[in-house]
Copies of this chain bind each other. A is one copy, B any other.
C-alpha cells in the first residue's frame, strides 16, 4: 500500500464529464492496465466512487486495493452507504484499521486530508545513517517524500529536514545538527482553509499534522491542498453569484439538482424583493403625481446594488485570503465610507448632468427637471454610500453571527439595497417636491 504520486501520464479526461456512468465504465475497461491505473488514481474521489459502483465485483476489488490509504478513505467517504462496507472489506486488516481511523475525521479538516505515510528520523542519527534509513522507508510506507520529520523518543515532533538538505549535508554530521527546529505544524482538527493559508504563506510543500501531544499523525501535501483551494474558490464564487454551491462539475450536475440549488436562493431573493413592491406601493400617490419619478427607479436601485456587490465581493475575498480579519471592521468601515461617498458623488454628478442634458436637448422632463435632477443626484449619493457600506459590513455581521461570510452573495446585498434604496429615493423626492406637490 505504498503511495506513489503521479509522475506522468497524459490521458485526456476532457470528455469524461460528458459521458454517462455506464459509458465511463465501458471506456475505462478498455484502457491498457498501466494507463488505467494512472487514470483511476487521478480521478476525484467522487468519480472513483462512481466508477467503482459501475464496475463488476471482481474489478471493483482490484481497484479498491490500488489506492493509497488516504485516497481510499476519500473514495469510501464519497461512496453511497451500501458500497462503503463492501469497499472496506476488500482492504487487508492493517489497511482497514488506518482507513477507518481516517474516516473518523471530517472531510474538511487536516486529519481528513492527511496521508499517514510520512518519513521520520531520529535526531541522533548520522547523515549517512539517516539516508540509509530513508531508503528503507521509501521502499515501504512513505507516500510523498519531500521532508523527513525528526521525532523524539515519545514520537513528538522536534525538527524537520528536507530531503535536499539531507542529501546535501556532510555525511558525518548528525540529524540534530542540520535540522530546523521551528517547524510549522497543524492540529488534526485544523480547518482545510487554515492549512491552505499556512502552506501558501510559508511556501511549504507539506505540513505535519499533530495530535494534542504533538505527535505526528500524518502529513498534508500541497498537491492535495491545491484541489482544496480550487474547490473553496469555486464554492465562494458560486455563493457570491447567488447559488448554493454545486458539489459536482457544472456539466455533471443533474438538471433537477441544479434547479433546486439555484431555485432555493432565487426564490428566497424573490420573496425578499417582493418588499420592493410593498415599498413602491407606499409611494403610489407620489408616482401618480409625478410619473417621471418612476422612470429613474431602476437606475437608482441598480447603482446601489452594483456598489454593494463590489464592496461585498472585495471584503469576502479579502477575508477568505486572511487579509481582512474580524477585528479590522472599523478600518474597513471607514475606508468604505470614504470610498462610497466618492463613488456616490461621481455617479450623482453623472446623473445630474444626464438629466439636465436630456432636458436641454429633448425637454424630456417638463417643469420639474431641476427638482428631478436634484432628487436623482442626492439620492444617488445616499444610495451608493449606503450600498457600499452595507455591502462591506454584511460579511462581518454574518461572521459574528457564526455564519460563513461568503453567504453574503452579491444578489443578497442587491436585494437589501434595492428595498432601502426605494425608501431613500422617495424620501428625498418628498423632501424636494414637498412644496410643489403639496
Residues of A at the B interface (CB closer than 8 Å) are 4-10, 13-14, 17-18, 41-42, 131, 134-135, 138-139, 142-147, 160-165, 167-168, 180-184, 196, 199-205, 221-227, 229-230, 233-234, 236-238, 240-243, 246, 249-251, 255, 258-259, 262-263, 265-267, 269-271, 273-274, 276-277, 280-281, 284, 287-288, 291-292, 294-299, 301-303, 305-307, 309-310, 312-318, 321, 323-325, 328, 331-332, 335, 338-339, 342-343, 346-347, 350-351, 354, 364, 384, 410-411, 414-415, 418, 422
Contacts and interface: CB of A to CB of B under 8 A. Distances in A.
B297 A8 contact: no
Given A222-B222, A251-B331, A203 B6 contact: yes
A147 B284 CA distance: 72
25 contacts: A6-B204, A7-B147, A7-B161, A7-B204, A42-B202, A131-B131, A131-B167, A144-B164, A145-B164, A203-B224, A205-B205, A229-B229, A237-B237, A241-B312, A242-B306, A242-B313, A250-B323, A266-B310, A266-B343, A270-B350, A274-B299, A287-B291, A302-B415, A302-B418, A309-B411
Nearest to A165: B4
B291 A277 contact: no
A328 B138 CA distance: 44
B323 A302 contact: no
Contacts of A139: 167-168
B145 A313 contact: no
A243 B204 contact: no
Contacts of A267: 346-347, 350
B138 A164 contact: yes
Given A246-B314, A280-B296, 19 more contacts: A4-B164, A6-B203, A6-B204, A8-B160, A41-B203, A131-B131, A131-B167, A138-B164, A143-B164, A238-B313, A240-B241, A249-B321, A270-B351, A280-B294, A280-B298, A284-B295, A291-B294, A302-B418, A410-B411
A17 B318 CA distance: 12
Which A-B residue pairs are the 3 nearest by beta carbons?
Answer: A241-B313, A233-B233, A250-B318
A61 to B, nearest CB: 24
A71 to B, nearest CB: 9
Given A222-B205, A299-B277, A263 B167 contact: no
B309 A410 contact: yes
Given A184-B10, A318-B249, A205 B223 contact: yes
Contacts of A298: 273, 276-277, 280, 297-298, 301, 418, 422
A294 to B, nearest CB: 4
A418 B303 CA distance: 12
Contacts of A312: 241
A318 B411 CA distance: 20
A249 to B, nearest CB: 4
Nearest to A279: B298
A98 to B, nearest CB: 19
A142 B163 CA distance: 11
A305 B301 CA distance: 12
A303 B411 CA distance: 10
A8 B180 contact: yes
Nearest to A409: B309
A6 to B, nearest CB: 4
